[in-house]
Structure 1
């Protein structure tokens, strides 16, 4: 080969390499995101809409391999988005290849996996009234991996001295303490959101998410979340994801480059919700008030998603289903449920439960009237008046929470005060299609701490927890209650979301370990554990019927029972001991002769009167 031929070949090689480099760069530039990143074969709804994102990606034509049918290709006013809908009906798990062409020439391709589902995935069992849910804020629970406390790619860094800052709790810390949670009697774990929240401040609560397909790297990785699910299942426990349909954070990558102007509600830009959820069903409400409730932003840093936009709605449906499949989830809790577009959120909920018929979803419907809350439960007769069905299996029992927040300080009963408030809460159960599927609680991450209200009064804690463990519904315990944790919400949300003692290296007190708890922490823990471990074994308090008796002198008696088992619960909220006159309760005592107190093992003759101490509770299994 002479020098002239060599130089010619060298130029050709360089040109080819340059073309390959340009092709590679074009591929990188063209596809920046694909969501969902993969999917599953054999889904109930075979249509899959894949979002392809990259600069001017909409200029390309799209094809897919293996004879897969493309049902639709949707472009928006933003050329950086392509929404491609394919039909996966009867398509086995495999790898697909999407080809993107310009001027009839393929300029880049993208592999896409259809994965195999877990066996019996569609019929997975969810949480129900036989469970007790333990609610944690992961940033404040336990720091299992201090190396991930701050991340270069995320704005807010760890600062444990800031009550509103990130403290470093993570998934590794949760996993390390699962046996503690199980010992407590919990059978399900609800964590506030773990997906990425890149807000500059207050990001620890997780409700301003910036990427809903990615676990926040300060908590760990997607694989860590999958491990959490697996470790829970090994312990016969369940994982509940806190899902947010109403809003994202302002730092979400799609908010910064909106697919469509109406992806979020605009006025234009920001307008705050009026928080008046009654406008969703009030027949006299003005259209403007109803619009401001649904479409207004919860806060300025959380743009309000427009579920009436089919692209938004489908994105949220697929994201939820993807997490269920990927992380093998056992249920959802949905934040600010009643602020969503009313029709859109019903479609979202129905799509999830169509795919998973046994899947439980509890919605946060923070209202103070049973009829208004019942409106949002699936098959509500109240909502049926307006031809509406939310398809939401469960709502949170905020009226019971309201009652428990005051009654144990109302020692002198009258017509409206004292335990009559608890009694009255259950008199309205006829409004709910399924009162057994209500989430019951005395506090959560947004409310005043129970032990703050009652100044760590152990007797009042006993009454409240026994009530929670024995009435209808699914009990939820907020982390730290079981060791007497308090904190005043009036001092800021950080005060009700304190670090769990012992979750950080160097903590003076480690309440995760028996021999390091204080005497008071141990007293609270022992009682809570005994109560909820017992609850696991008693079907009468899971799904049994309830009969209760009008409180007299702040003494409230009710029964939970099945054909085989019965439990008698006696709450004395008075300042003096009271006589329990058993003749009044013959309707439920029937042929039972003894009542054995679950908490003390003491037995009571049910054919004779007996006494109960002031501000105390008896939990009697009838024999």
Structure 2
């Protein structure tokens, strides 16, 4: 009898273990992994993934209402939408039945939101954004340079390989970034990218709920956010709506064929995004533009599919809430369906009314850029509103890349390029809320463009610091870093000196900088730390004067402060008469240069050094 009892219990334990194992195997992924109580949109779409999970009937505890259960042609997915209206932070249990018997269960949590989460303040024109490529910035934890579960291993000797920079490296150098006068950090993507090579840029993501383990963990990202907020720094996530990486786990087992845009044969976008607003464009050209793949390794997401749109919207909101983010920069913004993107941006800014999102609209005229900013009158012609708060000012970047080399002004060369650029600001609904920059991780390095001429670097940075908009600086330029894009992307994405223990030169510290690096850094830090203190260059009005003799003068002003900015783009000393600027000089007699502290008499004329700029606080 005892032997039979032992046999019975052994079989029972075995059955329990088998049942437990099958339960764990049944649900392999749940996304979002958890959610938050008290969101303005109470509808939550939860994706359950597991072998043949669609054959089960789902229910949920606590009398929670299931509003919709959606199955696709792939039986491994189940999309369940519940109503979280009036639900408090709590834990619920989903039950999955077969033949009226519970086969397995899955716990799911609604968490408490941070205090005043919905009203979080985002970045704006009072900020300076510092762009980092984390793999190339600083290696704070050499132990995570490689991961056995990920294809590409650390190899700093390979220009296009993974070099080991990580989240810990950013955290360790936050004081350096703050000392520069930057207030906001935009890091290129940090979510997992399991491509076999060139995965360091991380734009081909393989899991959008997980930080790449070669950068750290999700908890490390939370720690970065918390440490930044302690230092009054803001964190901007680089978000990608247009595509994932070919190794994304969902691409390997598509929920539905229409999850991505597919053609009979591989079709790449032609990048001619003018067709989106072109009233004469063929439907074929528009389709290839939006639905074509960016590159073969980046499948194009179909945001017209409601499941995809909801997935990406919730993923973006989850990261804001989870990591306490302060803003987004969105990659390849207008490569996706325009209406779907408008809905995506609207959903986010409805949950977070002050949240800023800047879209990469890489186009070269103001009408095409302005079309994509929220409340654009150009978009309104077609009854379109993008709901996108900010765009990147690529037209200004175009002019910055050449104007300071043009010593002899002509009708359309020299400083007139900047004047002409700003004359079209009337096209923008909010010109103060556009991102101004000289370079980024995809463009030529500005120091290389100007052949490491420090005087021209100063002109570039002074312009960015004093015109309308939100200035963005690319890591390393502030110490004179350059790089040749003709040698490939790795040429403009070099390692920051001092970010690795073996580096002989540590430019993160005052003592470690070379004389040349110190010259660049000291100027940049002085300029942008001054900018933090002057509201006139944040949100003040701008009046500019037609450049004469390659000299450009403009004013930024509020009722309380006036700043006069003067650029001499000549290679020789010049003198300007100030009576022409009486409209803005008013009764001011002098101006104090924000960078040198020198006082200039502005009552009649000002002498200007060759290739120089003055930033005068009028007194």
**Aligning the two structures, in what range does the TM-score lie when normalised by the shorter sequence?**
over 0.9
- Cα distance in 2 between the residues matched to 1:13 and 1:455: 80
Alignment of 1:322-401 (within 5 A): 322-401=318-397
> Of 110, 116, 123, which aligns to 2:112?
116
- Cα distance in 2 between the residues matched to 1:278 and 1:208: 25
> Of 603, 610, 623, which aligns to 2:606?
610
Aligned partner of 1:264 in structure 2 is: 260
Structure 1 length as normaliser, TM-score?
A: 0.99
- Cα distance in 1 between the residues matched to 2:153 and 2:358: 32
Matched, 1:44 2:48: no
Q: What RMSD, in angstroms, separates the aligned Cα atoms of the two structures?
A: 0.6
- Cα distance in 1 between the residues matched to 2:258 and 2:159: 36
Conserved? CA contact 1:270–1:303, under 8 Å: no
- Cα distance in 2 between the residues matched to 1:147 and 1:25: 33
Aligned partner of 2:88 in structure 1 is: 92
Aligned partner of 1:189 in structure 2 is: 185
Alignment of 1:216-255 (within 5 A): 216-255=212-251
Unaligned runs of 5+ in 2: none
Alpha-carbon shift at residue 593 of structure 1 (Å): 1.2
Aligned-partner SS, 1:294: helix
- Cα distance in 2 between the residues matched to 1:584 and 1:508: 53
Aligned partner of 2:460 in structure 1 is: 464
Aligned partner of 1:438 in structure 2 is: 434
> Of 276, 282, 286, which aligns to 1:286?
282
Runs of 4+ in 1 over 2 A off after TM superposition: none
Matched, 1:427 2:427: no
Aligned partner of 2:446 in structure 1 is: 450
- Cα distance in 2 between the residues matched to 1:472 and 1:528: 18
Aligned partner of 2:60 in structure 1 is: 64
Matched, 1:541 2:537: yes
- Cα distance in 2 between the residues matched to 1:601 and 1:308: 56
- Cα distance in 1 between the residues matched to 2:277 and 2:23: 50
- Cα distance in 1 between the residues matched to 2:42 and 2:28: 26
Matched, 1:145 2:141: yes
Aligned partner of 1:212 in structure 2 is: 208
Alpha-carbon shift at residue 387 of structure 1 (Å): 0.8
Matched, 1:83 2:79: yes
- Cα distance in 2 between the residues matched to 1:608 and 1:343: 55
Alpha-carbon shift at residue 271 of structure 1 (Å): 1.2
Matched, 1:586 2:564: no
- Cα distance in 2 between the residues matched to 1:269 and 1:162: 33
Aligned-partner SS, 1:291: helix
Aligned-partner SS, 1:451: helix
- Cα distance in 1 between the residues matched to 2:368 and 2:357: 18
Alpha-carbon shift at residue 22 of structure 1 (Å): 1.6
Aligned partner of 2:124 in structure 1 is: 128
- Cα distance in 1 between the residues matched to 2:326 and 2:290: 28
Aligned partner of 1:520 in structure 2 is: 516
Aligned-partner SS, 1:516: coil
Structure 2 length as normaliser, TM-score?
A: 1.00
Alignment of 1:9-48 (within 5 A): 9-48=5-44
Alpha-carbon shift at residue 453 of structure 1 (Å): 0.6
Alpha-carbon shift at residue 270 of structure 1 (Å): 2.7
Aligned partner of 1:318 in structure 2 is: 314
- Cα distance in 2 between the residues matched to 1:11 and 1:311: 49
Alpha-carbon shift at residue 10 of structure 1 (Å): 2.0
- Cα distance in 1 between the residues matched to 2:415 and 2:159: 36
- Cα distance in 1 between the residues matched to 2:103 and 2:303: 34
- Cα distance in 2 between the residues matched to 1:600 and 1:536: 17
Deviation string 1:504-544 (CA, Å, 9 cap, x unpaired) is 01101100011111111000000000000000010000000
Aligned partner of 2:406 in structure 1 is: 410
- Cα distance in 2 between the residues matched to 1:204 and 1:253: 18
- Cα distance in 1 between the residues matched to 2:88 and 2:24: 29
> Of 467, 474, 477, which aligns to 1:478?
474
Alpha-carbon shift at residue 268 of structure 1 (Å): 3.3
Matched, 1:567 2:563: yes
Alpha-carbon shift at residue 269 of structure 1 (Å): 5.7
Deviation string 1:403-434 (CA, Å, 9 cap, x unpaired) is 00000111100101001001110000000000
Deviation string 1:269-325 (CA, Å, 9 cap, x unpaired) is 631001010111100000000000000000000000000000000000000000000
Aligned-partner SS, 1:139: helix
Deviation string 1:48-85 (CA, Å, 9 cap, x unpaired) is 00000000011111110111100011110000000010
Aligned partner of 2:487 in structure 1 is: 491
Alpha-carbon shift at residue 7 of structure 1 (Å): 2.6
Aligned partner of 2:591 in structure 1 is: 595
- Cα distance in 2 between the residues matched to 1:14 and 1:519: 76
Alpha-carbon shift at residue 8 of structure 1 (Å): 2.0
Alpha-carbon shift at residue 342 of structure 1 (Å): 1.1
Alpha-carbon shift at residue 102 of structure 1 (Å): 0.5
- Cα distance in 2 between the residues matched to 1:11 and 1:72: 45
- Cα distance in 2 between the residues matched to 1:116 and 1:501: 42
Deviation string 1:166-215 (CA, Å, 9 cap, x unpaired) is 00000000000000000000000000000000000000001000000000
Aligned-partner SS, 2:354: coil
